[in-house]
Amino acid sequence: MSVRTVLQRAEPPLVWLDLVQPTKEELDEIARTYGLHSTAVRDCLDPEHLPKFEQFDTHVFAILRAFDDRAERSCATVQELTRKVAIFSGRSFLITIHRTEQPWLATVEAKYHDEAAAPNGKEGLQSFLLTQVLNAAVDTYSAPMEAIEERIDAFEELVFGGHDADAREFAGDLREVHVLKRQVTLIKRLLWRTLDVVQRMSPSTGRAASLFRDVQENIESSHFYADELLDDVNTVLNVQLALAAHRTGEVMRILTVFSVFFLPLTFLVGVYGMNFDFMPELRSRWGYPMVLAAMGVITLAIYLWFRRRGWLRE
């Protein structure tokens, strides 16, 4: 386990500890030192836990999930896209626990690490630090959502640019759009759960209340952004499916036109293939040419009718 004392103040007393990949025994020791609740400690060991909040007598416990900047573009599950951070916040301590190093949290810690030995502090510093961590966790979703928006824009240009893709390329595009939809849906769901955590954590009055309101506004803005992206992904997906259906309809239209041209000709051939004895035109010198001419007139009539109705236009 790696334990860092990020910040330590004497007046008012405050210590911020950051724990990386602690074992159960090490967590139990920290829990005894700071009076942490046992059920919350067990939740720290679960890497798949979704955002949650619990209020205890001497402290509060929260779980956040921040976007992992090392996640692959094809990832589509909560565990693949995000990393968990557990937070214990009491009157005189702030403890952050995570299984792997997280650059966004290290950036926040670096702002205060140089002042770790400072003897004095100010009232409300603990709430300020907590909201800084919350805001930083929410901000990790901004860059991936901007990247998703760029991919959606590129896909829209591909769809509306008259690009004729083959079946394999079309299937690959649909898979990519489906992955984008899964990612945006997960981000939206996690932001909504995080908003619920912050709302339950927020005090009703005081300077800390305004700090937590800022976090809520940040989450709501990101959630609205994710909602817009989800609408865009659904629109692109529906347009792509509609274009595929249109291409299929064009093929069927052409096949139908050809079948209509040959349907009456097939009927005439079928009639003459019945081999009746009484067919006077068979003994006429001009019988066969007249039948061919009749077939040509029928075909021309069908063509002119289709053209008049506009069914032969692209």
> 264-275 pLDDT, tens per residue?
778 777 766 666
The pLDDT value given to residue 3: 83
Tokens 């769809």 correspond to: 159
Q: How far is CA 182 from the centre of its chain?
A: 4
Q: Which residues contact 211 (CB under 8 A, 6 or more apart)?
A: 124, 127, 128, 131
Q: How confident is the model at residue 305 (pLDDT cuts 50, 70, 90)?
A: confident
Q: Positive or negative CA dihedral for 146, 151, 152, 156?
A: positive
In whole angstroms, what is the distance from residue 86 CA to residue 99 CA? 10
- Would you identify the CATH topology of the domain 2-245? Beta Polymerase; domain 2 (3.30.460)
Q: Do domains 2-245 and 248-309 have the same CATH topology?
A: no
The residue type at 94: L
The residue type at 294: A
Q: Can you give the pTM of this predicted structure?
A: 0.75
Q: Which residues contact 160 (CB under 8 A, 6 or more apart)?
A: 239
The pLDDT value given to residue 275: 62
The pLDDT value given to residue 120: 44
Is the separation of the CB atoms in 50 and 60 below 8 Å? no
Please compute the mean of the pLDDT values over residues 219-228 and round it to a whole number.
Answer: 94
> What single-letter DSSP state applies at residue 282?
G
For 273-297, the pLDDT digits (tens) are 666 666 666 667 777 677 778 878 8
What stretches of 120-206 show up as alpha helix (H) in DSSP? 125-139, 142-160, 167-201
In sequence order, what are the beta bridge partners of 15?
Answer: 8, 93
Question: Higher confidence at residue 88 or residue 9?
Answer: 88
Considering only the C-alpha atoms of the chain, give the largest distance between any 2 of them, rounded to a whole number of Å: 122
- Would you identify the CATH topology of the domain 248-309? Methane Monooxygenase Hydroxylase; Chain G, domain 1 (1.20.58)
182 pLDDT higher than 60: yes
Q: How confident is the model at residue 117 (pLDDT cuts 50, 70, 90)?
A: very low
Tokens 């510093």 correspond to: 125
| Domain extents in the chain | 2-245, 248-309
Q: How confident is the model at residue 172 (pLDDT cuts 50, 70, 90)?
A: low
Which tokens go with 308?
């008049």
